[in-house]
Structure 1
Amino acid sequence: MDTSGLADLLAAAGSGQSLSLQHVISAMLLSFVLCSVIAKLYQLTFQSLSYSRSFVHTLILGGMIVCMVMMSMGDSVARGIGVLGALSLIRFRTVVRDPRDMMFLFAALGLGIACGAGMFAVAVTGCVLLSSVIVLLHWAPFATRRRYEAMLRFLVEADNDAARTEVDAVLAECCSAYMLLAMREAVQGDLLEYSYQVRLIDPSYQVDIVKKLEALDSIAEVNLVMQRTTVEL
């Protein structure tokens, strides 16, 4: 077998150069710190329904494990193939319900890869920029579609045209937009039930609109259900 060809093959497969203990400890500790920052931001900006403490731990442990795997592989193709073969035996059946959770997981794994590859500047810079974007998206109204929307229901006396005018006046005063969704008979046709989709000018108006409608003599059983916590998470 040609000696030069064997040398080229070994070079392509990568060298088996071992890392110093100081480098390994530094990379693992850095991945722990950076992934902890991402995990803490996830905890502070969480707005979904089912919070999982184990997922926060997964963000930290996942980054550290990926960092260790990257250092174990080094630049060796043979080690990389072995790692892929070992990971193919593991079945990951956990369902990530929120795409935002998946992005946090990718961020933690990316930081672990950067630390394991020895690119500490990339890991630190990426963590700082990602943290800034996470905080910005959490507090800024970017991509917010619905604010202060609610479902309004009330009963009105049948054949009372003046009541409809009074209701429109109250809605125009408290709402930036409103739309009649449904109207049906109630109490054997003596009353009419109105259902409105309303968008309040300010969240404090949810008390005012109920009080103003209840003050009308022809209005009864006013019910206002805010939809922000269920529609937009």
Structure 2
Amino acid sequence: MLDLLAVQSSSTNATIITLAYTLILAFVLSSTIAWTYEKTFLGLSYSRNFVQGIVLSAVVAAMVMQAIGDNVGRGLGMMGALSVVRFRTSFKDPRDIMFIFAALGAGIGCGVYAWGAAVGGTIAFSCVAFLLSRTGLGTKHFFDGMLRFALPNEPKVRGQVEDIMKGNLKTFILITMREVDGGARLDVAYQIRLRATKPAAEILTLLSKVEGISDVQFMMQDATTEM
């Protein structure tokens, strides 16, 4: 059985076995990071290519560090070569950048034989990512979504709608109101906060029963912000 401590100490001239251990470990750790990203992703713009890019970036980082080793000249040459290549991929989500950095860190750790730091860092990063996704840290929603519908421009109907919303919603604020059909009807939109015992479907059903109301729509806050 190969002594890992002996392999770790032979950093000047890497053998094929050492290189294999390094690249395999980089692949395993980056796959763990990619799996964590997949399980904790909350938005709508999921990309399979990005997940695969997380894995590939760690393998490339480990390979580059193996090629450079302790040679300063190689490091400067690698910097010059990378300066020629321009990466134009833009990241809309800062969280995606952190996953790329985590994969690069794991790959670099494997490439310089800091296997303990690479494994420990990957485990810690994955645990923190899962913890943040489950606790919802940073979420600050004053409202659950937007409720929109059209109703006759009559005091009786407006009173019925107001009674329904006061009796079944925790909070609601009128954000837009416009006249349609020559002022005979109103198109309104509210930001609303649901009660725990009153789901959105029940509110839509109650409003649809009011005579004259049409085009009742409810858009969740998550669907409009987590892009």
- TM above 0.5, yes or no, is yes
Moved segments of 4+, more than 6 Å: none
For 1:19 and 1:64, locate their aligned partners in 2 and report how far apart those are by CA, in whole Å: 16
Query: Which residue of 1 is the match for residue 63 of structure 2?
Result: 68
For 1:219 and 1:96, locate their aligned partners in 2 and report how far apart those are by CA, in whole Å: 43
Structure 1, unmatched stretches of 5+, are 1-15
User: 1:193: how far off?
Assistant: 2.7
Matched, 1:94 2:89: yes
Cα deviation per residue 1:167-187 (whole Å; 9 max; x = unaligned)?
Answer: 233223332221011222222
* Sequence identity percentage: 38
For 2:66 and 2:217, locate their aligned partners in 1 and report how far apart those are by CA, in whole Å: 61
Query: Which residue of 2 is the match for residue 170 of structure 1?
Result: 164
Matched, 1:31 2:29: no
User: 1:78: how far off?
Assistant: 1.4
2:150 touches 2:187 (CA, 8 Å); kept in 1?
A: yes
User: 1:218: how far off?
Assistant: 5.6
Query: Which residue of 1 is the match for residue 8 of structure 2?
Result: none
Quick one: which amino acid aligns to residue 200 of structure 2? Q
For 2:49 and 2:64, locate their aligned partners in 1 and report how far apart those are by CA, in whole Å: 21
Quick one: which amino acid aligns to residue 208 of structure 2? E
1:35 touches 1:60 (CA, 8 Å); kept in 2?
A: yes
2:42 touches 2:226 (CA, 8 Å); kept in 1?
A: no
Matched, 1:152 2:157: no
Q: CA 1:219–1:124 in structure 2 vs 1: closer, same or farther (change >3 Å)? A: same
Taking structure 2 as the reference length, the TM-score comes to 0.85
Q: CA 1:154–1:92 in structure 2 vs 1: closer, same or farther (change >3 Å)? A: closer
Matched, 1:216 2:210: yes
Quick one: which amino acid aligns to residue 43 of structure 1? E
Q: 1:44 aligns with which of 39, 44, 55?
A: 39
User: 1:21: how far off?
Assistant: 2.9
Alignment of 1:179-218 (within 5 A): 179-202=173-196, 205-217=199-211
Structure 1 residue matching 2:183: 3-state secondary structure? coil
Taking structure 1 as the reference length, the TM-score comes to 0.83
User: 1:85: how far off?
Assistant: 1.5
Q: 1:82 aligns with which of 77, 82, 88?
A: 77
For 2:197 and 2:141, locate their aligned partners in 1 and report how far apart those are by CA, in whole Å: 12
CA RMSD of aligned residues (A): 2.3
Structure 2, unmatched stretches of 5+, are 1-10
For 1:92 and 1:203, locate their aligned partners in 2 and report how far apart those are by CA, in whole Å: 50
Query: Which residue of 2 is the match for residue 120 of structure 1?
Result: 115
For 1:203 and 1:65, locate their aligned partners in 2 and report how far apart those are by CA, in whole Å: 52
User: 1:69: how far off?
Assistant: 1.3
For 1:52 and 1:194, locate their aligned partners in 2 and report how far apart those are by CA, in whole Å: 36
For 2:29 and 2:93, locate their aligned partners in 1 and report how far apart those are by CA, in whole Å: 22
For 2:71 and 2:94, locate their aligned partners in 1 and report how far apart those are by CA, in whole Å: 33
For 1:148 and 1:204, locate their aligned partners in 2 and report how far apart those are by CA, in whole Å: 14
User: 1:156: how far off?
Assistant: 3.4
